[in-house]
Structure 1
Amino acid sequence: MKKKQFRLLMLLSAFALLILAACGSDSEKETKDAEKEDTGGNSAATDKPESDIKFLSLLTGGTQGTYYALGGTFADLITTGTGIKTTAEVSQASAANMTALQEDKGEIAFVQTDIAYYATEGKMMFDGAKIDTISALGALYPETVQLVTTEASGIKTYADLKGKKVSVGAPGSGTYANAEQLLEIHGLAMTDVKAQNLDFGESTEGLQSGQIDAAFITAGTPTAAVEALNATTKVNIIGMDAGKADELIAKYPYYAKETVATGTYGIANDTETVSVLAMLAVKKDLPDEVVYEMTKAIYDNTDKISHDKGRLIKAETGLAGISIEVHPGAQKYFDEKK
């Protein structure tokens, strides 16, 4: 009798467990269905992409340049948009950033469009060291090639640079390539000046102290380092000679004409020079959905960029001037904007 009661009790317990399991399954299904409704059919609770990536490094430039000034904001936007913690890192800018991406020392980087082209083609400073692991996320804003000097230097034209101490940026940097090409188009070579390999901050300090006479600075205007110099020393921006911008563009088509407007750094007249474009490059092996969300996070939120260059960063010009392969995730975003 006891055995029969025991068997009956076991059967009732098993039946109860089956009922509970069925209820739990229905409840779980209802929860998932509700999540889908809340997220437009996506089973995830948010629109953030699923990824094993936990951290991203955004390579910028020196602390006195525009890349660094924008980097913190971009990192915050990407963190919010993707759910992946992104940190802006100080770096040596364009050329160094391309090498760093190749060596897995970062995933995203600011770079000039001309330097990205050189890297992917194995030209100029990348001769024999072609980089094939990067693609474009998008174009940002014009980077003006500024030949900065002081009123006390007496320099008025490119010809006046001969024999003077001129900061031309680090060898292999974007600024160095720009300086070399602008000197060349004006009939000068690096050997005609006393070239100094300084970063933006060192350049402006050298101008202030009189240790150098002029400096090439390729950055979005106004550039923080030059503004700081102008606060203590009268700044001049040397314009290109008549017709030289056209000659330069004919030889190096990634340049565009640019004007440093009256009032910038307190200058009295519009000054004609040239620019390249700033862009963001990413590693090719980043997942498409992650890069899509990164691109969306930046270009959909340009109103949150407090730097003056934020007004120039637009989705409709996000592919302008890009001469390297665009990452499929970024391409998807820009295709949706058409």
Structure 2
Amino acid sequence: MKQSIRIALLSLFMTIAGQTGQALAGEPRLTFFRIGAGPTTETLYALSTAISAGISRPPGSLPCNEGGVCGVPGLIAVAQSRSGSIDNLFAMMRGELESALVRADVAFQAYHGGGPFKYEGAQENLRVIANLTPVSLHIVVPAGSDINSVRDLRGKRISVGARGSGTRDLSLIVLRTNSLAPRDLSLRYMKPGPASDALYRGDLDALFLVGAAPVDAIADLAERMELRLLPLEGYPRRQLFSLFPFIETDAIIGGTYEGIKETQTVKMGVQWVVWQDTDETLIEQITQALWQSDTSALFNRNNPRHTFPDPRYGVPEKSIPMHPGATRYYQQAGLLAP
């Protein structure tokens, strides 16, 4: 249904543009810009919908200084829900998306041709526009479970995220750093909503989820049953740091979820990526609209548990190369040295 609505809206925009082409003489030409996101219950989708609304400014719209939309003139951005970061990047490779929101570790793997991208080779023309809301690894178990560490998951029924999601790939890496191979576990590949329901019914022993705390699926589940988060620390966490230089130490603060104490874990950024050959002026305008339009207000209003990142955090560091259009904006804004 949601996909049908998106297609219908696109058709409507195209019809309007065609019918009003003469009336809108002097308006910038219409440009569609697709943004790949994650499942509708995850942070990436909430970010993509806010961004698409904030950077868009269809032909005929009032200028920003006259109470109109403060997006890029002529641009219509459309958020598309997909399985996750890996699926998004493969869709970009097939030409189905102009851009995508992906986790930093997945962008790093794609750029270097590692992990799930080893058969496609290094995607060296991948570029980043911005860092967005950081996301944290959650490993959730019932409070009464006898599972007290990741190594205790041996032989258990675990959801490691949907196929095509970055959560799945990171989960398997975390399990390996704890000396657990897929054959040692009963793995399920589920999206956050179904995985939470399965844990509640007793059909799962644990679930992995990567998202900006508090993750709605976990917060809602914590209101239905008592939960714990497994810590990720010590040698396994240090191994992750050696694999991905941008992964950072994190602590999910006690009380973030009902009844759950502070738990050590890791976090990383969500990055907005495009191809290097995307028009520099367009990307400069998009980057400016990302940070100077209504994007943050839209996100914060619709996601009261979260806060849109500060532009100073948004300047990409320790990641794949930045798109030159984004670089130009950050330099002109005084956020990046020339």
TM category (shorter chain) comes to 0.7 to 0.9
Q: Could you tell me which residue of structure 2 aligns to residue 82 of structure 1?
A: 72
- The more displaced of 167-176 and 99-108 is 167-176
Letter in 2 for 1:305: F
Q: Could you tell me which residue of structure 2 aligns to residue 333 of structure 1?
A: 329
Residue 260 to residue 273, structure 1, CA distance change in 2 (3 Å): same
Larger radius of gyration: 1
Aligned-partner Cα distance in 1 for 2:246–2:173: 12
Deviating beyond 4 angstroms after TM superposition, the runs of 4 or more aligned structure 1 residues are none
2:30–2:76 Cα contact (<8 Å) kept: no
Aligned-partner Cα distance in 2 for 1:270–1:230: 15
Correspondence 1:129 to 2:120: yes
Residue 313 to residue 283, structure 1, CA distance change in 2 (3 Å): same
Residues 197-234 of structure 1, C-alpha deviations (whole Å, 9 max, x = no match): 11112211211111111111011111121122122122
Residue 249 to residue 240, structure 1, CA distance change in 2 (3 Å): same
Alignment of 1:153-168 (within 5 A): 153-168=145-160
Shift of 1:332: 0.8
Q: Could you tell me which residue of structure 2 aligns to residue 283 of structure 1?
A: 275
Q: Equivalent of 1:311, from 304, 307, 310?
A: 307
SS at match of 1:329: helix
Aligned-partner Cα distance in 1 for 2:53–2:308: 19
Aligned-partner Cα distance in 1 for 2:110–2:322: 14
Shift of 1:303: 4.2
Shift of 1:136: 0.7
Shift of 1:72: 1.4
Identical-pair percentage: 25
Correspondence 1:270 to 2:247: no
1:303–1:310 Cα contact (<8 Å) kept: no
Q: Could you tell me which residue of structure 2 aligns to residue 119 of structure 1?
A: 110
Q: Could you tell me which residue of structure 2 aligns to residue 181 of structure 1?
A: 173
Alignment of 1:63-82 (within 5 A): 63-80=40-57, 81-82=71-72
Correspondence 1:98 to 2:94: no
Q: Could you tell me which residue of structure 1 aligns to residue 130 of structure 2?
A: 138
Aligned-partner Cα distance in 1 for 2:225–2:241: 32
Decide which structure has greater helix share: 1
Shift of 1:235: 2.2
2:85–2:164 Cα contact (<8 Å) kept: no
Shift of 1:192: 1.6
Residue 186 to residue 98, structure 1, CA distance change in 2 (3 Å): same
Aligned-partner Cα distance in 2 for 1:115–1:63: 19
Q: Could you tell me which residue of structure 2 aligns to residue 23 of structure 1?
A: none
Q: Could you tell me which residue of structure 1 aligns to residue 37 of structure 2?
A: 60
Query: C-alpha root-mean-square deviation of aligned residues, in Å?
Result: 2.2
Residue 310 to residue 282, structure 1, CA distance change in 2 (3 Å): farther
Residues 125-162 of structure 1, C-alpha deviations (whole Å, 9 max, x = no match): 00020334431111112210110122243322112211
Aligned-partner Cα distance in 2 for 1:246–1:253: 11
- The more displaced of 256-265 and 317-326 is 317-326
Residue 305 to residue 115, structure 1, CA distance change in 2 (3 Å): same
> Normalization by structure 2: what TM-score?
0.80
**What 5-or-longer segments of structure 1 have no aligned partner?**
1-43
Shift of 1:53: 4.9
Letter in 2 for 1:198: M
Aligned-partner Cα distance in 2 for 1:225–1:151: 16
Correspondence 1:207 to 2:199: yes
SS at match of 1:269: coil
Residues 180-205 of structure 1, C-alpha deviations (whole Å, 9 max, x = no match): 22112222222221111111122112
Aligned-partner Cα distance in 2 for 1:129–1:250: 24
Shift of 1:54: 2.4
SS at match of 1:311: coil
Letter in 1 for 2:307: R
> Normalization by structure 1: what TM-score?
0.80
- The more displaced of 151-160 and 305-314 is 305-314
Q: Could you tell me which residue of structure 1 aligns to residue 63 of structure 2?
A: none
Shift of 1:114: 1.1
2:127–2:275 Cα contact (<8 Å) kept: yes
Aligned-partner Cα distance in 1 for 2:307–2:92: 28
SS at match of 1:265: coil
Shift of 1:313: 1.4
**What 5-or-longer segments of structure 2 have no aligned partner?**
1-24, 58-70
Q: Could you tell me which residue of structure 2 aligns to residue 260 of structure 1?
A: 252
Aligned-partner Cα distance in 2 for 1:282–1:292: 12
Count of residues in Structure 1 that have an aligned counterpart in Structure 2: 291
1:162–1:192 Cα contact (<8 Å) kept: yes
Shift of 1:322: 4.6
Letter in 2 for 1:330: A
Residue 86 to residue 319, structure 1, CA distance change in 2 (3 Å): same
Q: Could you tell me which residue of structure 1 aligns to residue 5 of structure 2?
A: none
Residue 98 to residue 309, structure 1, CA distance change in 2 (3 Å): farther
